[in-house]
Amino acid sequence: MSRLDMFLAGLRFRSSTPTFEVGDEVPVFVTDRGPSGLRARIGDTVLELPDADQSLFDSKVQIEIESFDEETHRGTARVLEVLENEG
């Protein structure tokens, strides 16, 4: 293995449209309000939080993915835990 290979080992590029699996748990910031409630954006991926308390706007929360469409990069999730509440 060359020095360059060792240097680059484990290096991955981040996507502007990350994908998720049902059941994934991730920390996110609640970034805006949509027609169906609060939303979290991760790059260009949008996760709807339909049952989230409106006071969580602009907070960091741990969510669990409930549904996700890889073609549209949209999904739904539920809040598991409030990590930092700024709302």
pLDDT at 2: 74
Domain 17-84 in CATH 1.10.10.10? The answer is: no
Can you give the residue ranges of every domain in the chain?
A: 17-84
Higher pLDDT: 14 or 40? It is: 40
φ/ψ region of 72 (left if φ > 0, alpha if ψ in -120 to 50, else beta) reads alpha
Characterize the bridge pairing of strands 45-49 and 60-69. Answer: unpaired
pLDDT surpasses 70 at 35 = yes
Gap between the Cα atoms of 11 and 70, Å rounded:
23
CA dihedral over 24, 43, 75, 70, signed as positive or negative: negative
pLDDT grade for 1, boundaries at 50, 70 and 90: low
Which long-range CB contacts under 8 A does 15-18 form with residues at least 24 apart?
15/43, 16/43, 16/44, 17/43, 17/44, 17/45, 17/73, 18/42, 18/43, 18/45, 18/73
